[in-house]
Amino acid sequence: MVRFHAMRLRKFNFLMVIVGFIFAAEGCHQPFAQGQALYDANCSRCHGMDGQGFENLYPGILESPYLMTAGSGLACVIVHGSDYLDEKRGGPGDEIPMPENKHLTPVEVLNIINYLSWEFGSRETTTIDQVMRAMEGCKE
C-alpha cells in the first residue's frame, strides 16, 4: 500500500513539473501580458494596436521621445495625458487632446510602461519605485 502511494506521488510530482514547464514557456512569449492588456484597454483605441496611431487624428507612439528615453515623462503622459504634454511644451499641441488616465494604479502604469518598452522601445524595464517617484513629480 505504501509503495502504491509513493508511486502515485512520483507520478503526480512529475506531472506538476511538466505543467510548470508549460506555464513557464507560455510566459516567455510575452513577459508583459498585463501591460499589453492594459494598453489594449486604455491606449490602443487612439494609438493603435501597433503603436502607429491613426493618420493625422491620433499620433503614433513609436517615435515618442517619452518612449525612447528612460525617465519619468512616460508615467506622467499616461496618467495626465495632454495636460502634462501641454505643460511641457508651453501650450496645446495640434493633435486631438489625449485623455488622462488617473484611474490607473502605479502598478498598472508600470505594466504599461514595461510593455511599451518591450514591444516598441529599448526593452529597458522600469521599477515601481521609478514610477512612484515620477507620479509624485507630475502636475496634479
**What CATH number is associated with residue 123?**
1.10.760.10
Q: How many CB atoms lie within 10 A of CB 104?
A: 18
User: 3: domain range?
Assistant: 1-30
**57, 3: one domain:** no
Reading the block at residue 132, the C-alpha cell is 512612484
Place of cell 512520483: 10
What's the domain count of the chain? 2
pLDDT given for residue 47 in this prediction: 92
pLDDT given for residue 3 in this prediction: 64
pLDDT digits (tens), the chain, 140 positions? 556 556 565 665 555 555 455 555 554 566 789 999 999 999 999 999 999 988 878 888 887 877 776 566 889 999 998 888 777 777 777 777 889 999 999 999 999 999 998 888 888 889 999 999 999 988 65
**108, 53: one domain:** yes
Q: List, in sequence order, the alpha helices (H) in 30-53.
A: 33-42, 44-47
**76, 41: one domain:** yes
What pTM did the predictor assign?
0.73
**7, 70: one domain:** no
pLDDT given for residue 68 in this prediction: 73
**12, 64: one domain:** no
**125, 100: one domain:** yes
| Cβ atoms of 95 and 59 closer than 8 Å | yes
**42, 67: one domain:** yes
**Strand, coil or helix: 29:** helix
**41, 24: one domain:** no
CA dihedral 56, 57, 63, 67 (to 10 degrees): 170
pLDDT given for residue 75 in this prediction: 92
**90, 39: one domain:** yes
**41, 105: one domain:** yes
**20, 69: one domain:** no
The residue among 118, 98, 134 whose CA lies nearest residue 34 is 118
DSSP symbol at 64:
-
**109, 67: one domain:** yes
